[in-house]
Amino acid sequence: MLGKIENINLKPEMRNEIKSSKGDSGSFKVHKKQGFADTLTYSSALIFLSSLNWKLKKFFVNSENQIEIEIQFDNYIFCFLINQKAPSTKNIFIKIIENVFAGTSKINKYICEINFDLIKVDSKEIEYDSLNTLFSRVKTFLIPGDKEVNRMYFYNIINGLNERLVYLFSQIYLNVIEFIEKLNSKKLLSISEDSQTSNTNNISISGVYVEYQ
């Protein structure tokens, strides 16, 4: 089983190879080169990520055989912990990080932790506008100098965005699952049965934090 992958730029024209921290591939495709770190060969999985304009920041299989994965799009990073044997469809945890690259702000990152239930979506056409609105509200309710937003404001931050955010996070989650399936050449999750997805837009914020420079 592949152990750890980090900071990979997945542009198709570059035909990159992914560096791995372990030599044994398990069910993943790993190729060794003399004098170099082990590499994951260019594959349909990488093409798939690139088609979404995503960058793989982290891929780590922990001791409990769970996948810790971080995907970057633009200035956002999406973090999941996925059980390979039975990926969650209810109360899915996602951590979203907005990196601050410019300006006079002393804030380096905004971090929002959310739980949501998976719904059926078209996973290919992703619109991120609701995410921009979410973090705009986070900044509105953050008291300057504080390291986190008071829980009393969580409802106001997410109010009116529930449906759009559940749709967006379901899209992201299903694409992350598909990427893992392409790496592993194995189906992890089927949502053909109605019982596996929610009919309501269940979503809640569990924490909102900031990191300062």
pLDDT of residue 5: 52
- Domain residues for 73? 64-212
Q: What are residue 204's phi and psi, to 5 degrees?
A: -150, 150
130 within domain boundaries? yes
Residue 43 in domain: no
Residue 12 makes CB contacts below 8 A (sequence gap 6+) with 46, 47, 50
Please check whether residue 33 lies inside any domain of the structure.
no
116 falls within a domain:
yes
Q: Is residue 24 part of a domain?
A: no
Whole-model pTM: value is 0.81
- The reported pLDDT for the residue numbered 18 is 42
Ranges of residues in the chain whose predicted pLDDT is under 70: 1-42, 102-104, 190-198
Per-residue buried b or exposed e for 36-54, using 16+ beta carbons within 10 Å of the residue's own CB: eebbbebeebbebbbebeb
Identify whether 50 is part of a domain: no
Half-sphere exposure of 51 (CA within 13 A, CB side): 13
The pLDDT of residue 71 is: 97
Give me the residues paired with residue 94 across strands: 114
* 136 located within any domain: yes
What's the pLDDT score for residue 22?
Answer: 40
Write down the pLDDT at residue 195: 46
Confirm whether 25 is domain-assigned: no
> What integer pLDDT is reported at residue 159 of this predicted model?
96
Tokens of 195: 């019982």
Per-residue confidence (pLDDT) for residue 196, from 0 to 100:
57
Q: How many domains does the chain have?
A: 1
